[in-house]
Amino acid sequence: METVIVTGASTGIGHGCAAVLVRKGFRVFGSVRSRTDADRISHELGEKFVPLLFDIADQTAVRSSAAIVEEILRGKPLFGLVNNAGIAVPGPLLYLDIDEFRRQLEVNVTGQLIVTQTFAPLLKSADAQKAGRIVMMSSVGGRNASPFIGAYNASKFALEGMSESLRRELMLWGIDVIVVAPGTIATPIWDKAEQADIARYSNTPYAAALNAVRDYMLVNGRKGLKPEQVGELVHRALTAARPKTRYVITPDPLQNLLVGTLPKRMVDRLIARRLGLSPKSLTRRSSLQPK
């Protein structure tokens, strides 16, 4: 039985990946951050799912979990590592708390490297043709950024660059690194979005645009793809004889194509028109100073 690590397996895309891989016969070690989640997912997915308790930004905890996996593998190489765990910190960059920005990068970039450094030795094989693969969970926002999720976009742009460097460095051992970039996925995050605290920005020039973005995300987020669809794509990335270096999966591929190919200034104008992000929308009282 081949073994795969999936980080952030408690909900959403991580849970969808774990479920698909278990169904296809893999043993999945899934990282969660609470015993409650560990017990719940073990009950849902059965004996092929083995929970690991760690936060990806906690290097000591990650190393402890890797030791457990290594002992269970008994010298057999790890088939795959799916770096999925991550967070999204919303807010206009001019007013975003710097500690929140640091936390965004700590989890979505540094945490991915901690996990990769720790588990990469288990992916190696005496036969480079049998070395494991790494899947990095990016986003369509890893190539094209949007207003008010700049911290998240920064982390995903960084992740994509780091993934490319890793892919070229790890060729030495035959370990491949593949990026999966989802668009909108229907996950529990949209149930929480309605309660998202954007009140702190109510006295900034972005208040109206932020409300418009939140409403758009609520309506369209719940229409997104199922997490298991991403899981199927991750399975393909792990098992394809000749995988691509980057896969995109989105409910609106045409929009993604247009945003990625139209001139940036044109996309800027379209976004500004939709959200009211132009000098004409400023009031006399508007200021760049935080309130």
Return the pLDDT at 287.
54
Return the pLDDT at 24.
97
| pLDDT tens, residue by residue, 87-125 | 999 999 999 999 999 999 999 999 999 999 999 999 999
User: DSSP letters along 105-117, please?
Assistant: HIIIIIHHHHHHH
Return the pLDDT at 78.
97
Q: Which helix (H) or strand (E) holds 241?
A: none
Catalytic residue numbers?
152
pLDDT mean by block of 10 residues, the chain; 291 residues: 96 96 98 96 97 97 97 95 95 95 98 98 91 97 95 98 98 97 76 60 89 78 87 98 97 91 95 88 56 48
| CB atoms near residue 235 (< 10 Å) | 20
- The tokens describing 275, both together, are 């959200």
The CATH code belonging to domain 3-281 is 3.40.50.720
CA separation for the pair 145, 152 (Å, rounded): 9
Residue 190: helix, strand or coil by DSSP?
helix
| pTM confidence score | 0.92
